[in-house]
Amino acid sequence: MIFIWAFLVAGLMCAVAQIILDNTKFTPGHITTLFTVLGAILAFFGIYDKLIEFAGGGATTIISNFGYLLYTGALEGYKEMGILGIFTGLLTKGSAAIVGAVVFAAIMALIFKPKD
């Protein structure tokens, strides 16, 4: 069942993004930024937790999950260390995605030549 929800949730998010992309002047950059902020907002209202619960990988693979991770990291940091924890905790959970993207992109850039 989780597979069906994973398909539906990820698919619907992408379909909504495509509809926005086709009918407005937004660029792909606008869309990814919009959905990241949306993820943080959904996390704020406790909706994204539930979405991950029933859609699993379908929800965690969408860029909104990055906003969710930043929000929950900051909130957990606050619970541990107060205001300082917001600063130290914000990037903890989102770290894997950023470090992964940086390291792999750097390796690829050093090994491969750009296609013209």
Partner 1 sequence: MNREEYQKLVKKHEPKENKLENTIYSFLIGGSIGFLVEGIIQVIMNIFTIGRIEAGTWACLIVIFVSSLFTALGFFDDWMSKAKAGLLLPTTGFAHSVSSSALDYKREGLITGLGSNFFKLAGSVILYGILSAFVLVIVKVIIGG
Burial tier of 73 (Cβ tally within 10 Å: 0-12, 13-18, 19+): buried
Neighbours of 21 (CB within 10 A): 14
Short-list 43, 15, 45, CA closest to 31: 15
Q: How far is CA 81 from CA 78, 85, 86, 87, 93, in A?
A: 5, 5, 8, 10, 16
CA dihedral angle for residue 90, residue 96, residue 99, residue 105, rounded to 10 degrees: -140
Q: Does 19 bind partner 1 (CB under 8 A)?
A: yes
Q: Does 73 bind partner 1 (CB under 8 A)?
A: yes
Q: Does 25 bind partner 1 (CB under 8 A)?
A: no
Q: Does 51 bind partner 1 (CB under 8 A)?
A: no
Q: Does 21 bind partner 1 (CB under 8 A)?
A: yes
Q: Does 48 bind partner 1 (CB under 8 A)?
A: no
Q: How far is the CB of 50 from partner 1 (least distance, A)?
A: 15
Q: How far is the CB of 1 from partner 1 (least distance, A)?
A: 11
Q: Does 23 bind partner 1 (CB under 8 A)?
A: yes
Q: Which residues bind partner 1 (CB under 8 A)?
A: 2-3, 6-15, 17-19, 21-23, 28-29, 31-33, 35-37, 39-41, 43-44, 55-63, 65-67, 70-71, 73-75, 78, 86, 90-91, 94, 96-98, 100-102, 104-112, 114-115
